[in-house]
Homo-oligomer: A and B are copies of this chain.
Amino acid sequence: MNRNEKSPFCFREVYQDQRSFLELEVSRWVYSRETSFQKIDIFDTVSHGRVLALDGIVQTMERWEFMYHEMIAHVPLQICERPKHVLVIGGGDGGTIREALKHPSVESAVLCEIDRDVVEAAKTYLPTLSHALSDPRVSCVFEDGVAYLKGSSQTWDAILIDSTDPTAGEGGHLFTDAFYALCRERLVPGGVCVAQTENPIYDREWMQTAYRRIAAAFPTAGIYLGFSPQYPSGFWTYSIGYRSQDGQNKPDFYQLSPEAVRRIPPHLRYYTSDIHSAAFQIPPFLSDYLA
């Protein structure tokens, strides 16, 4: 390799254990800004495409983000019966909203992101994710997710909690008992709530805590898994809660109905009905962690 092909700059992420680190060679710095909430960095890499980091933690690698965004959106939205109104909390890059809008039943989607600068930066520098934010069905609210839910009585078919890590930036209060209870109150009967709940390798305690709190807030709850190479260990968990309705059958998270399978949006790259079922298969060591 020609020595000039190598960039002298590296981005360094400190994993949650404080003793393991990911370094990525930066081919081009794109954007950096200190906002009132966090430090935003956007840079290009040869292997992962454009990368968004908040407070030094990778949020999005453009080449691999589809795995995470498809799994946080399509699993709950396929479990819902024809979701109409979807709330995304966090997710300022627009990737989760982009996936939600692939469901033709969705009439409105609100992005509630505390940091307007993240959305503005994504609109300018991450168009493959943020293009969905200009869809006429989308509104953006720049407010803390807890305050937004408290201040509005609107109910939702699905609430997707696409937060940063509980230990970094502004994500921590999106992992509380009170927040999950509030999410449940703001769901219609038959509605679902999903949250990214970290990984069992570097952040086992937060994963346990978040899953247990969701399972306490929702009588019907579960956890599912997906590969997410953009995040530490690549072993990602998502916890899901269902607001039941009197006299209504609880959904089988694992198995989609034939009608639901027919509603899967076309052209997805990670999610299929078989991946949906596979994602709910939990290895015994993980069940032990969550018991």
Which A residues form the contact surface with B (CB < 8 A)?
Answer: 1, 6, 10, 17-25, 45-48, 64, 66-67, 199, 201-202, 225, 227, 229, 233-235, 268-272, 274-275, 277-279, 281, 283-285
Chain B residues near A225: list those with CB within 8 A. 227
Name A66's closest neighbour in chain B (CB-CB). B285
Let me know if A20 and B19 touch, CB within 8 A: no
Contact for A234 among B66, B233, B268, CB less than 8 A = B233
Chain B residues near A46: list those with CB within 8 A. 17, 19
Name A45's closest neighbour in chain B (CB-CB). B19
Report the Cα distance A24→B201, complex, angstroms.
14
Contact for A283 among B47, B201, B202, B272, CB less than 8 A = B272
Give the one of A19, A25, A277, A285 with max B CB within 10 A: A19
Let me know if A272 and B281 touch, CB within 8 A: yes
Give the one of A1, A199, A234 with max B CB within 10 A: A234
Report the Cα distance A39→B20, complex, angstroms.
22
Name A269's closest neighbour in chain B (CB-CB). B285
Contact for A227 among B22, B23, B235, B284, CB less than 8 A = B235
Chain B residues near A19: list those with CB within 8 A. 6, 24-25, 45-47
Name A227's closest neighbour in chain B (CB-CB). B235
Chain B residues near A45: list those with CB within 8 A. 19-20
Question: What are 18 of the A-B contact pairs (CB < 8 Å)?
Answer: A10-B21, A17-B47, A19-B24, A19-B45, A19-B46, A21-B23, A47-B201, A64-B201, A66-B285, A67-B283, A225-B227, A227-B235, A229-B234, A269-B283, A272-B283, A275-B281, A277-B278, A277-B281
Name A21's closest neighbour in chain B (CB-CB). B23
Chain B residues near A229: list those with CB within 8 A. 199, 201, 233-235
Report the Cα distance A229→B48, complex, angstroms.
18
Nearest Cβ on chain B to A72's Cβ, whole angstroms: 15
Please judge, given known A-B contacts A67-B283, A229-B201, whether A24 and B20 are in contact too, CB under 8 Å.
yes
Report the Cα distance A281→B233, complex, angstroms.
20
Report the Cα distance A173→B272, complex, angstroms.
36
